[in-house]
């Protein structure tokens, strides 16, 4: 197991390296110039050149990439001699726009995505698996059709529509909830929860569909397996047969998808939800950074999100190996 | 001067039929609401973070307005009267020019201290100005590097070198040597960059979040894109400061909330919204309802901006004067203004200098009917030989400007000009059109003067010699390079009498308009809303912001 | 043991009620295309300590019959009618809740493919222990000990260690032994083995059959063995019931049916078996044709479309009259459902035997 883990983690690191290179390359293909944006309105060519130099943008692509790569392990210094800014390991660079270290900005925005993503994930997993199981057990009947229909509705509506509709109903019209937004858990648990109810609900409505259908079809496949008949033949109650024998076997494909979804959600993929509900998370940070041609932040958010997805992959594979004894982690 | 991503500010004004905003001028409520109360917290709601608070780097109106609480400049504006009045801020007066306005001397007030009690010296001011030259300290206006002798080769104080053209004969005197006469230099020194920075507390490129204060407030905490908290600077003394007051205990700036949400919050006037104010203008989609609501009138501030919204005609591509003049008459400014939000947005413009800019002369060389004079336009086209022309029009890629572009297209279609619209991503608009590699026949522009003098408008926008000097940030989008105009610009720059210069600028405005290099569209107005318990707000027509220097919260 | 020809007249009372008494069992599945009559009037009896072999090809209804014995059609769309009496208790009308108490405990089943019939995610020991705990209030440890004991009983070496293994870690034969252990963990009185050796090598088959026989002797349970393999039946069954198209076509002791088969289908089955002795070149002799549709079974005798001897029945009765299961003259307990007369059958068998000898 340990050897397997080490191999997977090395592979993950390799993937992240490739992603970094690709992001770097894409950025260089963009038409906008961060030095020009930093320089401001009346920017003389000599001034522009100076700024380009201080941002390190006049170096070759390989040099810039190498500097960045080195910084990940050894930290980096930026700026003029007497007022150097040191960026500690792992150095993801300093934002062109805010002059703050990218890593600290990411870590500052991370709790919002963590709360948003994990919270929603817990809800849509439980609800989705529950509804899917119900639909499978009551296949063909009203409950099945209702569950699948609801799920279909959820996946068809656009996420921004759901978000805005919920906002309109709960905050503006009925005034049940205060304005949404992120309050740190450590600061005010009550406000943290209240501010996240609607964003969670939005994500759940959209993701629920996937998990309901996935669970349903996985369960139906499992129901056709011989061991389910054996379990009944042993005299087990229907509940035990469905949950202990059935769900346990059906859950494996769901684990895979769930891990990936959680990984990408906490890495900041809920961009639209963040922007509808005014949550300053990594998704919003990523979008802003692209608009501002803020390369260090673009790189940072990309790597951050990629890291979580890649790690989630590894975790999922390990869990899979733990759940299904037939899988030999090699 | 810009608002950060000012395209958002203007694009936010929606397509709405203006109900005729009646809340014009709002209340200049500095004196009307009684004497200020001390204490409490003022909340400021901004939908985006400041570009910078570092005084040598800030170049937006919001940042400059907030910096007024932290950083004192050599001169400043007293806006409590009917027109802004230039006064000495760190300096005892508005400075002494000599040698034909090429040498300016300022004496500093006694008793001005930093937040740690140490005195603010002339050396500190020199150090601050020198910082502008470092490539790490980028983003700010170019005047220091443009005018100070030796500026083009100086690389900033971090290399250990000083700039000789800034002299400090003693701790309270500072002398600037300029390489050309600048009659209104003491208006330039009201900009944030002409302020003191203590070398011991300079943190270089991270100074934005560590600004050392000599103003009534100092930074308690600043988390970028989240929150800025200012608290009383106990070392500040009212007796040394003619511009500011220190009323509230704390200023809490919350960053990142959606502008429409901010509008609703302050409009609702519930809870902390009562003691809140915004810095960015009301979103276009909310403008009509808010400006038309009589119950909000007492806390709505309509602030005229020293700026102009216009269409630049590229004179190197649209060479025929008659065609350009026909365009002037053909444009229907009513539909154009409608696209930007209607009359709440501002008045129709016929000059490049807006009211409020020193030197503005009122004239209208073209159609007096804002809807245009189609007959005259057609006649001019006939004189030009009735050419069937196709022109490119550059606008920002926003809904507002899409509608604007349509309005222009329709207007010009009536005189046989086919307009091809090129929408450009809003965040990159100016860096794109300012690059001489990207030229269009017609370009939408807006411009706010750095200080209310024509010298910050006409030379920048119409001196053709700048094009070659600044190929990536060219502001002369008419690509006008008229030797007569250039000569006039030089001549006026040498004038030492401000009144004389003003009159000459007014004439220059008219001269350029005769050349039909630009179509002025609207003068701009920004509308801001405050909570009912906020008092002492002064409309600042120089920054087009609600100035907070006298703000207080009622209990 | 006693054999029934058809449902007893209401007033007749046998001397002692058989342990398992199945009367006119019918299992019909309604589908979009029609009603599938998988089991269409099957009756048999079984005593404790004996083994009944139910033989037939795919689709003959033998597995459906076995599932009916466990009551596994309850709650599905299947329509079950007839009677299944187990020690006097009638199972067809028994509610699911009560049936559950019997499953795994009084009636138990060994399934065909132990790799798919055992849950891949649980250890073998856990699955056996679970079967025990469902019906007995014991601690986990006690159930585990019982599981280990059962594994030992079925001949699995190192049972404590192997109890912690997963089904996929067992060989085919060992896995089937484990399945048997699980089926027997509650000492069931009726054991149903559905093709228990079909998925195994021939060499392992013999071991498993021996095991079943030994355990039957030890526990005294009644065994219903379902198979398509006559060799298996010959080995351990006492009685044989041959099914075709959901119906019984021949029923008797192993000796009677295999030595003196009376039905053309049974002849065909015997003929089609590969022989270890005899000519290598000799071709296999399958029964021509394919199993009948269970939705629209052929009129008359279900086998008649494939029967080579229907011409021997006068008047074409095979196509119109359904033959009754009647005793073969001269025997007390050998029943066959065929219109051929006993004499005709003897003649046919003589001829074919002679033909085969050449």
pLDDT tens per residue across span C198-235: 888 888 888 888 888 888 888 889 999 999 888 888 88
Burial classification of residue C13, based on how many CB atoms lie within 10 Å of its CB (0-12 exposed, 13-18 middle, 19 or more buried) = exposed
- Count the Cβ atoms, other than its own, within 10 Å of residue B110: 9
Q: Does A278 touch chain B (CB under 8 A)?
A: yes
Query: Got the DSSP string for B403-457?
Result: HHHHHHHHHHHTTTEEEEEEEE-GGGHHHHHTSTTS--SEEEEEEE-SSSBGGGT
Neighbours of chain B (3+ CB pairs under 8 A): A
- Residue ranges of chain C whose CB lies within 8 Å of a chain A CB: 70, 72, 100-105, 108-109, 111, 113, 116-121, 130-131, 134-135, 166, 168, 182
Inter-chain touch A45–B138, beta carbons under 8 Å? no
**Any alpha helices (H) in C139-229, and if so which ranges?**
140-153, 159-162, 172-184, 202-219
Q: Please write down the long-range contacts of B152-159, taking CB distance under 8 Å and 24 or more positions apart.
A: B152/A46, B154/B130, B155/A50, B156/A80, B156/B130, B156/B131, B156/B132, B157/B127, B157/B130, B157/B131, B157/B133, B157/B199, B158/A80, B158/A81, B158/A82, B158/A83, B158/B134, B158/B204, B159/A80, B159/A81
Note the pLDDT tens digit of each residue in A166-177. 888 887 778 777
Instruction: Tell me if there are at least 3 CB pairs under 8 Å linking chains C and A.
Output: yes
Nearest chain A Cα to B203, which residue? A83
Q: Which of A149-158, B94-103, B332-341, C5-14 has the lowest mean pLDDT?
A: C5-14
Q: Does A70 touch chain C (CB under 8 A)?
A: no
Query: What is the per-residue pLDDT for B550?
Result: 94
Question: Alpha carbon of B291 to those of A95, B295, C351: distances in Å?
Answer: 39, 10, 113
Closest chain B residue to the Cα of A84, Cα to Cα: B204
Which backbone phi and psi does C193 adopt, to 5 degrees? -115, 110
Tell me the fold of A103-327: MetI-like fold (1.10.3720)
A194 touches chain B (CB under 8 A): no
Say yes or no to pLDDT of C10 above 50: no
User: Chains C/B: 3 or more C-beta pairs closer than 8 A?
Assistant: no
Phi, psi (degrees; rounded to nearest 5) at C51: -125, 125
CA distance C29 to C37: 7
The Cα B228–Cα B210 span in angstroms is: 11
DSSP state of C222: E
To the nearest whole angstrom, how far is the Cα of B159 from the nearest Cα of chain A? 7
Among candidates C102, C109, C121 on the partner chain, residue whose Cβ is nearest the Cβ of A249: C121
pLDDT band, very low/low/confident/very high, at C194 (cuts 50, 70, 90): very high
Q: Among B8, B56, B138, which would you mutate to test the A interface (most chain A Cβ atoms within 10 Å of its Cβ)?
A: B138
User: Residue B340 in contact with residue B296, Cβ under 8 Å?
Assistant: no
- Closest to B442 measured CA to CA, from B472, B402, B405, B388: B405
Q: Which of A236, A248, A323 sits opposite C134 (nearest CB)?
A: A236
Other beta carbons less than 10 A from residue B114's beta carbon: 21
- Residue closest to C349 by CA, chosen among C266, C255, C280: C266
pLDDT of residue C5: 47
Closest residue, chain A, to B430 (C-alpha): A41
How far is Cα B465 from Cα B476, in angstroms, rounded to an integer?
9
Tell me if chain B has a CB within 8 Å of the CB of A108: yes
Task: For residue A173, give how far its alpha carbon lies from the nearest alpha carbon of chain B (Å).
Answer: 13
Distance from CA of B410 to the nearest CA of A (A): 31
Q: Is the Cβ–Cβ distance between B309 and B524 less than 8 Å?
A: yes
- In angstroms, rounded to a whole number, what is the distance separating the alpha carbons of residues C90 and B124? 105
The full set of domain ranges for chain C reads: 16-106+188-274, 114-187
Q: Does domain C16-106+188-274 have CATH number 3.40.50.300?
A: yes
Q: Say whether A231 and C119 touch across the interface (CB within 8 A).
A: yes
How many beta carbons lie within 10 A of that of residue C249, not counting itself? 25
Residue where the block lists tokens 């085969």: C356
Q: Could you report the predicted ipTM of this complex, rounded to two decimals?
A: 0.84
Per-residue pLDDT of chain B (555 residues; tens, 9 = 90+): 554 333 222 222 322 222 222 233 333 344 345 688 999 999 999 988 888 899 999 988 899 999 999 999 999 999 998 889 999 999 999 999 998 889 999 999 999 999 999 999 999 999 999 999 988 888 888 888 889 999 888 989 988 899 999 999 999 999 999 998 888 899 999 999 999 999 999 998 889 999 999 999 999 999 888 899 999 999 999 999 999 999 999 999 998 787 878 888 898 888 888 999 999 888 767 787 888 889 999 999 999 888 899 999 999 999 999 999 999 999 999 999 888 877 878 899 999 999 888 888 999 999 899 999 999 999 999 999 999 999 999 998 887 888 899 999 999 999 999 999 999 877 778 878 988 988 999 999 988 888 888 988 999 899 999 888 888 888 999 999 999 999 999 999 888 888 899 999 999 999 999 999 999 999 988 899 999 999 999 999 899 899 999 999 998
Contacts of B141 in chain A (CB under 8 A): 40-42
Whether the pLDDT of residue C307 is over 90: the answer is: no
Tokens representing residue A101 in the block: 């270290």
Tell me what the mean pLDDT of segment A249-259 comes to.
Answer: 92
**Burial of C259 per CB tally in 10 Å (0-12, 13-18, 19+):** exposed
Alpha helices in B154-198 (DSSP H): 185-188
Distance of alpha carbon A129 from alpha carbon A214, whole angstroms: 8
Nearest by CB to residue A233, choosing from C70, C119, C121, is C70
DSSP state of B533: T
Q: Which residue reads 């400049």 in tokens?
A: B73
Q: What are phi and psi of B525, to 5 degrees?
A: -135, 135
CA B333 to chain centroid, in Å, comes to 23
pLDDT, tens digit (0-9, with 9 covering 90-100), for A46-63: 888 888 887 778 888 888
Query: What does the pLDDT look like over B407-460, one tens digit per residue?
Result: 999 999 999 999 999 998 777 788 789 889 889 999 999 888 888 889 889 998
Does A105 lie at the interface with B, CB-CB under 8 angstroms? yes
With a cut of 60, say whether residue C257 has pLDDT above it.
yes
Average pLDDT taken over every residue of chain C: 87
What span, in angstroms and rounded, lies between the C-alpha atoms of A295 and C94?
74
A84 touches chain C (CB under 8 A): no
Q: Do A41 and B138 touch (CB under 8 A)?
A: no
Domain spans of chain A, in order of start:
33-91, 103-327
Note whether A175 contacts B: Cβ–Cβ < 8 A: no
Write out chain A residues lying below 8 Å of B460, CB-based. Answer: 42
Instruction: Say yes or no for a CB contact (<8 Å) between B265 and A81.
Output: no
Separation CA A122–CA A282 (nearest Å): 20
Whole-angstrom Cα Rg for chain C: 21
Q: Identify the closest residue of chain C to A324 by CA–CA distance.
A: C121
CA closest to A38 among chain B residues = B139
Instruction: Tokens 């017609």: give the residue.
Output: B442
pLDDT one-digit tens code per residue, C56-100: 888 888 999 999 999 999 888 899 999 999 988 999 999 999 999
C117 and A230 in contact by Cβ < 8 A?
yes
Contact, C52 vs C237, CB < 8 A?
A: yes
B257 vs A181: CB contact, 8 Å cut-off?
Answer: yes
A166: left (phi over 0), alpha (psi -120 to 50) or beta: alpha
Question: Side by side, which strands form the sheet with B250-255?
Answer: B217-223, B227-232, B250-255, B41-46, B276-278
C62 closest CA partner among C70, C53, C71: C53
Q: Look at chain B and count its residues.
A: 555
Q: Which helix (H) or strand (E) holds A112?
A: helix A102-137
pLDDT the model gives residue A36: 79
Q: Backbone phi, then psi, for B37, in 5-degree steps? A: -90, 150
Residue C320 confidence (pLDDT)? 87
């Amino acid at each position: 197991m340990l050897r397997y883990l080490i191999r997977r983690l090395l592979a993950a690191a390799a993937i992240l390296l490739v992603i970094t290179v690709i992001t770097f390359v894409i950025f260089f293909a963009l038409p906008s110039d961060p030095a020009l944006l930093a320089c401001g309105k009346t920017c003389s060519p000599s001034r522009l050149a100076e700024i380009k130099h201080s941002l390190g943008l006049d170096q070759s692509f390989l040099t810039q990439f190498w500097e960045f790569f080195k910084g990940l392990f050894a930290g980096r210094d930026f700026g003029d001699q007497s007022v150097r800014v040191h960026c500690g390991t792992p150095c993801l660079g300093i934002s062109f726009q805010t002059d703050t270290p990218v890593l600290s900005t990411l870590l500052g925005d991370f709790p919002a995505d963590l709360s948003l993503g994990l919270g929603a994930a817990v809800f849509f997993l439980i609800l989705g698996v529950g509804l899917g199981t119900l639909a499978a057990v009551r296949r063909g009947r009203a409950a099945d059709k209702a569950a699948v229909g609801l799920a279909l509705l959820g996946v068809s509506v656009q996420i921004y529509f759901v978000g805005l509709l919920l906002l309109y109903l709960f905050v503006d019209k009925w005034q049940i909830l205060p304005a949404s937004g992120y309050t740190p858990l450590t600061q005010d648990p009550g406000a943290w929860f209240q501010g996240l109810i609607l964003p969670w609900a939005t994500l759940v409505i959209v993701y629920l569909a996937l998990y309901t259908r996935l669970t349903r079809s996985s369960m139906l496949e499992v129901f056709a397996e011989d061991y389910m008949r054996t379990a009944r033949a042993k005299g087990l109650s229907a509940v035990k047969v469905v949950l202990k024998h059935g769900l346990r076997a059906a859950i494996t494909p769901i684990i895979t998808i769930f891990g990936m979804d959680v990984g990408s959600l906490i890495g900041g993929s809920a961009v639209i939800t963040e922007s509808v509900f005014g949550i300053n998370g990594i998704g919003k940070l990523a979008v802003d950074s692209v608009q501002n041609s803020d390369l260090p932040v673009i790189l940072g958010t990309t790597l951050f999100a990629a890291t979580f997805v890649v790690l989630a992959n590894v975790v999922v594979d390990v869990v899979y190996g733990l759940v299904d004894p037939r899988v030999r982690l090699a | 001067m810009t608002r950060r991503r000012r395209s958002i500010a203007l694009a936010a004004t929606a397509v709405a039929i203006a109900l005729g905003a009646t809340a014009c001028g709002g209340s200049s409520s500095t004196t009307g609401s009684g004497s200020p109360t001390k204490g409490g917290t003022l909340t400021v709601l901004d939908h985006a973070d400041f570009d910078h608070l570092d005084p040598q780097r800030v170049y937006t109106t919001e940042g400059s307005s907030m910096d007024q609480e932290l950083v004192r400049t050599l001169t400043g504006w007293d806006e409590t009267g009917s027109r802004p009045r230039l006064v000495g801020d760190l300096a005892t007066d508005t400075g002494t020019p000599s040698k034909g306005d090429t040498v300016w001397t300022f004496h500093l007030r006694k008793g001005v201290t930093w937040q740690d009690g140490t005195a603010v010296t002339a050396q500190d001011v020199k150090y601050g100005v020198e910082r502008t030259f470092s490539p790490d300290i980028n983003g700010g206006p170019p005047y220091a590097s443009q005018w100070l002798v030796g500026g083009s080769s100086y690389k900033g104080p971090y290399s250990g070198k000083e700039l000789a053209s800034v002299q400090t004969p003693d701790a309270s005197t500072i002398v600037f040597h300029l390489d050309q006469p600048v009659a209104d230099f003491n208006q330039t020194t009201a900009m944030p960059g002409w302020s003191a920075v203590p070398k011991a507390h300079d943190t270089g490129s991270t100074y934005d979040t560590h600004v050392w204060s000599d103003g009534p407030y100092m930074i308690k905490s600043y988390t970028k894109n989240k929150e800025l908290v200012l608290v009383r600077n106990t070392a500040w003394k009212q007796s040394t400061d003619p511009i500011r007051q220190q009323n509230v205990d704390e200023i809490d700036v919350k960053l990142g909330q959606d502008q429409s949400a901010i509008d609703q919050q302050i409009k609702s006037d519930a809870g902390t919204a009562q003691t809140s104010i915004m810095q960015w203008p009301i979103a276009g989609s909310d403008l009509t309802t808010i400006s038309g609501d009589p119950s909000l009138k007492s806390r709505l501030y309509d602030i005229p901006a020293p700026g102009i919204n216009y269409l630049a005609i590229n004179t190197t591509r649209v060479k025929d004067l008659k065609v350009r003049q026909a365009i002037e008459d053909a444009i229907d400014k009513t539909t154009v203004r409608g696209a930007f939000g209607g009359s709440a947005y501002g008045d129709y413009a016929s000059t490049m200098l807006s009211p409020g800019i020193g030197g503005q002369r009122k004239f209208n060389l073209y159609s007096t009917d804002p809807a245009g004079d189609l007959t005259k336009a057609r006649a001019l086209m006939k004189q030009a030989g009735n050419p069937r022309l196709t022109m490119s029009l550059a606008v920002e890629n926003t809904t507002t400007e899409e509608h604007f572009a349509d309005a222009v297209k329709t207007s010009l279609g009536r005189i046989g000009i086919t307009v091809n619209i090129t929408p450009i991503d809003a965040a990159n608009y100016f860096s794109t059109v300012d690059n001489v590699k990207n030229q269009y026949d017609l370009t939408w522009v807006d411009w706010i003067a750095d200080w209310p003098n024509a010298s910050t408008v006409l030379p920048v926008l119409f001196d053709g010699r700048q094009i070659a000097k600044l190929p990536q940030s060219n502001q002369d989008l008419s690509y006008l390079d008229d030797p007569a105009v250039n000569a006039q610009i030089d001549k006026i720059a040498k004038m030492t009498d401000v009144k004389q210069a003003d009159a000459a600028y007014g004439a220059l405005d008219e001269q350029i308009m005769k050349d039909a290099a630009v179509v002025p569209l609207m003068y701009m107005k920004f509308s801001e809303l405050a909570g009912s318990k906020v008092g002492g707000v002064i409309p600042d027509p120089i920054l087009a912001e609600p100035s907070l220097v006298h703000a207080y919260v009622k209990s | 043991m006693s054999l029934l020809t058809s449902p007893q007249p209401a007033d007749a009372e046998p001397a002692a009620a058989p342990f398992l008494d199945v009367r006119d069992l019918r299992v019909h599945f309604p589908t979009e295309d029609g009603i599938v009559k998988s089991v269409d009037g099957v009756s048999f009896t079984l005593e404790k300590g004996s083994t009944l072999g139910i033989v037939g090809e795919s689709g003959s209804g033998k597995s459906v019959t076995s599932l009916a014995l466990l009551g596994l059609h309850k709650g599905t769309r299947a329509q079950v009618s007839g009677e299944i009496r187990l020690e006097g208790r009638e199972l067809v009308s028994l509610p699911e809740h009560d049936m559950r108490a019997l499953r795994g405990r009084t009636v138990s089943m060994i399934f065909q493919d132990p790799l798919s019939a055992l849950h891949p995610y649980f250890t073998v020991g856990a699955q056996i222990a679970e079967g025990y705990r469902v019906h007995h209030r014991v601690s986990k440890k006690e159930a585990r000990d019982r599981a280990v004991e059962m594994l030992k009983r079925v001949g699995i070496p190192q049972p404590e260690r192997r109890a912690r293994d997963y089904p996929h870690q067992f060989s085919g034969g060992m896995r089937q032994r484990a399945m048997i252990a699980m089926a027997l963990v509650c000492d069931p009185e009726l054991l149903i083995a559905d093709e228990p050796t079909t998925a195994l090598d021939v060499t392992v088959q013999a071991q498993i059959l021996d095991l079943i026989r030994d355990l039957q002797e030890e526990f005294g349970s009644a065994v219903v063995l379902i198979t398509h393999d006559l060799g298996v039946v010959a080995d351990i069954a006492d009685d044989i019931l041959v099914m075709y198209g959901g119906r019984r076509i021949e029923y008797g002791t192993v000796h009677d049916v295999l030595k003196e088969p009376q039905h053309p289908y049974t002849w065909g089955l015997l003929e089609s078996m590969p022989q270890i002795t005899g000519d290598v070149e000799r071709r296999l002799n399958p029964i021509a044709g394919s199993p009948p549709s269970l939705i629209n079974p052929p009129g008359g005798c279900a086998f008649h479309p494939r029967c080579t001897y229907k011409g021997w029945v006068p008047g074409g009765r095979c196509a119109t009259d359904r033959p009754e299961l009647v005793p073969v003259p001269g025997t007390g307990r050998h029943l066959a459902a065929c219109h051929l007369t006993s004499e005709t059958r003897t003649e046919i068998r003589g001829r074919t035997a002679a033909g085969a000898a050449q």
